Amino acid sequence: MTTDLRTPSRPIAGTAPADRTGVATHCAYCGLQCAMTLTGSTAEDLTVTPRRFPTNRGGLCQKGWTSAELLRAPGRLTTPLVRRDGELAPASWDEALDLVADSLVRTQTAYGRDAVAVFGGGGLTNEKAYQLGKFARVALRTSQIDYNGRWCMSSAAAAGIRCFGLDRGLPFPVTDIGSAHAVLLLGANPAETMPPFLTHLVRAADAGGLMVADPRLTPTAAKALDGGGLHLQLRPGTDAALALGLLHLAVTEGYADRRFVDERTSGFEDVWAVAAQWLPERVERVTGVAVTTMRATVAALARARDTERGAYILSARGSEQHASGTDTVTAFIALALVLGLPGNPGTGFGTITGQGNGQGGREHGQKADQLPGYRKIDDPAARAHVAAVWGVDPSDLPGPGRSAFELLSALGTDGGPRVLMVHGSNPVVSAPDARVVTERLAALDLLVVSDFVLSETAAVADVVLPVLQWAEEEGTLTNLEGRVLRRRRALTAPEGCRSELDVWSDLAARIGCSTAFSTDPRVVFDELRRASAGGPADYSAVTWERLDAGESLHWPCSTERPQGTPRLFLDRFATRGGRARFVPVDHAGPVEADDAAYPLVATTGRVLQHYQSGAQTRLVDELAAAAGEMFVQVHPDTAAAVGLDDGGTTDVVSRRGRTRAVVRLDDDMRPDVVFLPFHWGGDGRANSLTHAALDPTSRMPEFKACAVRLEAVQ
């Protein structure tokens, strides 16, 4: 499907007629959170129309247009399931919750509090993300909680905190990008992952200033070239070297903003000591990006900064999902700081958040080391504040737990969790080295999954709890620019489905917890506001009433900033001294080297029609048909070397496992790289190949580079 920069996937003109009433809400999928109107009284007759909003400007992608189909998919779960004699069978809610509660109490009595673990998701509303963290730490009193957002934004978040003192995906409204004449995208492919975002890139593309650093000629990179922009086709895992090379050129060719560096930053000399060694020719040898392309990239950013005051650098998963992801983003922030982009109107550095509530989901307590308001769990003042809101003693709150993969890989081991509760995630498909994760899930005494579809993870669970879909619940989410949004209920859920808020409240009572857990999302949000007050992500002045009245509120939004903060860092950065920090880092490269046995580098990503693990979108016929089968994208010469033809079947083999895929030949692929989407399970599971080398700071696994070979299937 061709995606025009001005008309994302389907015409923007498809807005609801003025005389048609409906429920104003936001899309169920990515972090752009496109506005839409739902019209109809039942799932069967519900229709979706786009609604004009700053983020999507009246457009929707194919996933958004078909989102109502998910509500009527035949695979919808409407009754609890309990495993009996090896098979999942229908059960009553009382039976299912009694089983879970008995196991929680019995396991923690025998093995300790941390023998029970919780795994959350970046699609949960703010209210549910907050309540899940509270449930884990107050009802279960376990430190073992993390979520799938660890595999999405953690490296960018860590780098943002390291350099700016604060993590918010875009520290400016997404509409600011629309005025830019130069935008450098790092491992971002919004033409497929969030097509309406492309409307904000029109001016840069028309000016020949859209530049994309990506190992593949993605549809986004193709759009850049069509407008006279640039494609920096680097080898996977060499992003940090590219950043240091661009920084080197910015300084040596006179583009550095010396006044900005002197007045608003610290640590430049330490970074320059590293970047000075990354001569352009050396960078070209490591990355494969031509020196002329690098020079043109830096010149375009500087020209747009100086003449049109519109230049941005935006990172995404391609540059972040590496074992050195935090350092990579840190290096690109250093490039942005040298050019004087962050903290100035019309220029900036930001990160494109992937999951629907990827921003809010990481702010309010799902991460192993965090409390609500983006507070650190090992900070005594933070513990005291949140404990007071929760009505518990700070000493009763657990400390930091294991990060996502470390948690999953410890399941069922000596000293590891023996019971796991999963909410809004499908780690059997989405986890790195997924075969090992699947084995660890099988070693549990009890696996409980709350979902509305029978995902691959739910299919191996001992108890499955049917919960609400997005159009059946009230709540809030926070999009990629830190804007808090209202999710509104359009439908009554089928009989037998419950909100997670109900599930946690019921379980807390059954295991004897004296703390009340509200089932009313409005009440939960009001508590969240109090818990976040004074923290980095302060929601204390955000109310449902203000959101329902149409106010656009970006956090921090407090009594000191009651109108919110659309643009951060204009006066000072969030560091102790108010200056952005240059932090010296160097290129490390992929953890796993290719060799004669595994001569290719595999990188993973998404396609237009599918979202995350595909558990939802594979149930939508239109999306499944358009996406086709699991595939691997290969250069023709690479395929020919092992006897593969276009449309044939191959096994992609790594040191950990193999994935079966249909061959798609592409002349624009690097001959040393293959690409696999990660939306399929079973034999087509891309994460059977990937490995779990973890970033030492963010604990992000290295999804984007592993050594593989291709084998013909006879």
> For 417-465, how does the pLDDT look when each residue is reduced to its tens digit (9 = 90+)?
999 999 999 999 999 999 999 999 999 999 999 999 999 999 999 999 9
CA distance 104 to 140: 8
- Report pLDDT digits (tens) over 640-654: 999 999 999 999 999
* Per-residue model confidence (pLDDT) at position 18: 34
φ, ψ at 634 (rounded to 5°): -140, 145
In 47-157 the beta strands, taken as DSSP E runs, fall at 47-50, 81-84, 87-90, 116-120, 145-147
Name the pLDDT band for 192 (thresholds 50, 70, 90): very high
* Per-residue model confidence (pLDDT) at position 696: 97
Is pLDDT above 90 for 136? yes
φ, ψ at 362 (rounded to 5°): -100, 0
Maximum CA pair distance of the chain? 72
Name the pLDDT band for 4 (thresholds 50, 70, 90): very low
Q: Which residues contact 118 (CB under 8 A, 6 or more apart)?
A: 132, 135, 136, 140, 142, 144, 145, 420, 421, 423
Is pLDDT above 50 for 125? yes
* Per-residue model confidence (pLDDT) at position 98: 98
* Per-residue model confidence (pLDDT) at position 316: 95
Is pLDDT above 80 for 2? no
- Report pLDDT digits (tens) over 290-316: 999 999 999 999 999 998 779 999 999
- Report pLDDT digits (tens) over 252-281: 999 999 999 999 999 999 999 999 999 999
Of all residues in the chain, what percent carry a pLDDT higher than 90? Answer: 93
* Per-residue model confidence (pLDDT) at position 637: 98
CATH superfamily, with its number, for domain 154-352: Dimethylsulfoxide Reductase, domain 2 (3.40.228.10)
- Report pLDDT digits (tens) over 690-699: 999 999 999 9
Between 141-145, 535-539, 614-618, 648-652, the lowest mean confidence (pLDDT) is in 614-618
Is pLDDT above 70 for 336? yes
Average pLDDT score, the chain: 94
* Per-residue model confidence (pLDDT) at position 671: 97
Is pLDDT above 70 for 584? yes
Name the pLDDT band for 9 (thresholds 50, 70, 90): very low
632 in Cβ contact with 680 (< 8 Å): no
Domain positions in the chain are: 81-152+357-467+499-532, 154-352, 600-712
CB atoms within 10 A of CB 102: 13
Is pLDDT above 80 for 3? no
Best CATH choice for the domain 81-152+357-467+499-532 from the list 3.40.50.740, 1.10.150.250, 3.40.640.10, 3.40.50.300: 3.40.50.740
> What one-character-per-residue DSSP string does 71-100 give?
HT-TTB--S-EEEETTEEEE--HHHHHHHH
φ, ψ at 570 (rounded to 5°): -65, -35
Listed residue (659, 664, 669, 661) closest to 690, CA to CA: 659
CA distance 249 to 255: 8
Name the pLDDT band for 714 (thresholds 50, 70, 90): confident
- Report pLDDT digits (tens) over 71-118: 998 889 999 999 999 999 999 999 999 999 999 999 999 999 999 999
Listed residue (601, 592, 589) closest to 708, CA to CA: 601
Between 4-13, 60-69, 93-102, the lowest mean confidence (pLDDT) is in 4-13
Averaged over 522-543, what is the pLDDT? 98
* Per-residue model confidence (pLDDT) at position 356: 84
φ, ψ at 468 (rounded to 5°): -75, 150
Q: Specify the fold of 600-712.
A: Barwin-like endoglucanases (2.40.40)
The encoded tokens of residue 373 equal 């308001």
575 in Cβ contact with 581 (< 8 Å): yes
Is pLDDT above 70 for 34? yes
